[in-house]
């Protein structure tokens, strides 16, 4: 079974864009990098996407390969394929975790999501996201709260697993 990202955390970002990632995330990155071995830095893909995206999404190599396979299955030259190639391949960065458990967020990516001194990491199962903490609180937390407020008071979020995929 594939290891999943779990948890969240706030981490300081230094002036060079270096930030520690949660230790448990590092283990998942190692497991999801088919070329990783002890003493080697695990690689992963940061997708920064289009102008509407206000967070970075990080994929293990295995997860990125799954997406690439689906893109490759689309008709070459089709609008869908070209869009996905641009947003997933073109607007992404292959990077690795250094021996101290840090990654470097290049200035372009920090500017895109307005990260200055702190980053918020959020596990999302087979990926994890990096947010400016204030943006996450203003945007994503609010959306989640609004969705939950629409549910009955005794609502169990696990009941969503029983719904058919539409």
Give the three-state DSSP class for 20: strand
Q: How many domains is the chain partitioned into structurally?
A: 1
Residue 81 inside a domain? The answer is: yes
Q: Cα-Cα-Cα-Cα dihedral of 63, 119, 89, 141, to 10°?
A: 70
| 3-class DSSP string for 94-119 | EEECCCCCEEECCHHHHHHHCCCCEE
Q: Mean per-residue pLDDT for 81-102?
A: 95
- For residue 137, the cross-strand partners are none
Domain around 70: 8-152
Residue 3 inside a domain? The answer is: no
Residue 44 inside a domain? The answer is: yes
- pLDDT of 128 higher than 80: yes
- Look at residue 164 in the predicted model and tell me its pLDDT: 67
4-52 tens-digit pLDDT = 999 999 999 999 999 999 999 999 999 999 999 998 999 999 999 888 8
What's the CA gap between 53 and 18, in Å, rounded? 21
High-pLDDT (> 90) share of the chain, %? 76
């Amino acid at each position: 079974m594939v290891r999943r990202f779990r948890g969240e955390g706030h981490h300081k970002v230094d002036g060079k864009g270096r930030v520690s990632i949660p230790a448990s995330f590092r283990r998942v990155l190692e497991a999801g990098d088919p070329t990783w071995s002890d003493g080697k830095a695990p690689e992963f893909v940061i997708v920064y996407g289009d102008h509407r995206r206000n967070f970075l999404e990080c994929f293990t190599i295995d997860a990125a390969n799954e997406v690439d396979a689906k893109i490759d299955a689309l008709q070459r030259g089709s609008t869908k394929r070209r869009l996905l190639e641009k947003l997933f391949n073109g607007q992404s960065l292959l990077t690795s975790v250094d021996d101290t458990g840090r990654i470097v967020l290049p200035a372009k990516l920090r500017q895109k999501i307005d990260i200055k001194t702190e980053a918020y990491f959020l596990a999302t199962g087979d990926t994890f996201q990096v947010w400016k903490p204030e943006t996450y609180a203003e945007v994503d937390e609010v959306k989640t709260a609004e969705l939950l407020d629409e549910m009955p008071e005794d609502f169990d979020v696990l009941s969503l697993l029983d719904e058919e995929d539409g």
